[in-house]
Amino acid sequence: MNKKFIVGILLVCCSVISASAEEPKLIPPGTLAPTFSLPTIAGDRVSLSVYCGQTLSKPYTNKIRQTVFLSFWATYCKPCKKELPLLAAFGEKHKTDNVQVFCISIDKEGESAVSLYLKENNVNIQALLDPYMKTSQRYGVSSLPSLFVVDTLGTIRYVSHGFNDKENFGQKLEKILKDLKGGTLNAKTVEDVGGEQVAVRAETSASPQSKVSGVEAASPTKNLSAHQKWSAVMKVECGEPIDKVASELGVPAADIKKWHEELKNAAVKLWPEN
């Protein structure tokens, strides 16, 4: 296999990776909501399939399927600070109406930052932790706040991002719930984009030794295959920010730099300079 052929393969890989690195888009209404199992700030876990879907998963805590409101947010998001209390009030009002409201934090600091924030702002809401943004990425979240309404069978019926000060958010939630239960919510058209929003930060992930509500952060080499390492190196070579790539893998950026050096040394051994 000659060098030109290998270089060509690498260029193709770069083009594929660049295409996949485009700005994510929110999952549209009418599609099945990606399942998840996330820790709470109390150290428990919450799975979406316990509350809604074609088949409810154990421990079968609900005899009746629930309508689920999911809001992705972060403590650095100013419009989220306006939205959270209204979501909390809506959830409290409908807690006996087979409605669940979860706010999913993507803060890298995890429980310590989220619990303090909610306490300081006097917000009582079910908070879930997504510090490595695996769930938010599956939902296509690139800005905050991002809201998803999932029906009892697990289908997303409403999507929005941003918070609009000019509308009554509480009334908006009530109308969504009423229309959903009345069967008049059109899943093909209800996608609301607008209002104040904040871009998701591409930050270096938390320390590998830290723990987030019982979930151990991945160590730099734990469960990472050679393919994952070289794929990370290739993404950086093709222009993706190294901090973003490191965050996606849950490793320090220094590790990717080390893998890059190892790959370069291996290439030099294969093709020494004449």
Identify the pLDDT of residue 212: 40
Identify the pLDDT of residue 5: 45
Which string of DSSP letters, residue by residue, matches 33-92? PPP-EEEBTTS-EEEGGGTSSSSPPTT---SS--EEEEEEE-TT-HHHHHHHHHHHHHHH
Q: Is 179 helix (H, G, I), strand (E, B) or coil?
A: helix
Confirm if 72 and 156 have CB atoms less than 8 A apart.
no
Q: What is the mean pLDDT of residues 28-43?
A: 93
User: How do 211-212 and 215-216 pair as beta strands?
Assistant: antiparallel
> Is the confidence at residue 207, as pLDDT, over 60?
no
Q: Which domains does the chain have, with CATH numbers?
A: 37-199 (3.40.30.10), 218-270 (1.10.10)
Residue 272 pLDDT level (bands cut at 50, 70, 90) = low
Q: Is 270 helix (H, G, I), strand (E, B) or coil?
A: helix
Q: Which range has the worst mean pLDDT, 49-53, 131-135, 204-208, 223-227?
A: 204-208
Q: How far is CA 78 from CA 117, 122, 126, 195, in A?
A: 12, 16, 19, 12
Confirm if 161 and 143 have CB atoms less than 8 A apart.
yes
Q: Which range has the worst mean pLDDT, 22-31, 123-132, 182-191?
A: 182-191
User: How do 156-161 and 191-193 pair as beta strands?
Assistant: parallel
More confident residue, 82 or 266: 82
DSSP 8-class letter at 189: T
Residue 119, phi then psi, degrees to nearest 5: -65, -45
Identify the pLDDT of residue 126: 95
Give me the percent of the chain exceeding a pLDDT of 70.
72
Identify the pLDDT of residue 23: 52
Mean pLDDT (the chain, rounded): 79
- Residue 145, classified by CB atoms within 10 Å of its CB into exposed (0-12), middle (13-18) or buried (19+), is buried
Read off the pLDDT of residues 136-157 as tens digits, 9 standing for 90 and up. Answer: 999 999 999 999 999 999 999 9
Q: Which of 84-88, 233-237, 245-249 has the highest mean pLDDT?
A: 84-88
* 32 bridge partner residues: 155
Identify the pLDDT of residue 229: 79
The CB density around residue 29, as the number of other CB atoms within 10 Å, is: 21
Q: What is the Cα–Cα distance from 77 to 121, expressed in whole angstroms?
A: 13
Q: What is the mean pLDDT of residues 126-133?
A: 95
Identify the pLDDT of residue 7: 44
The CB density around residue 16, as the number of other CB atoms within 10 Å, is: 12
Q: What is the Cα–Cα distance from 156 to 32, expressed in whole angstroms?
A: 6
Residue 189 pLDDT level (bands cut at 50, 70, 90) = very low
For the full predicted model, state whether its pTM sits above 0.75: no
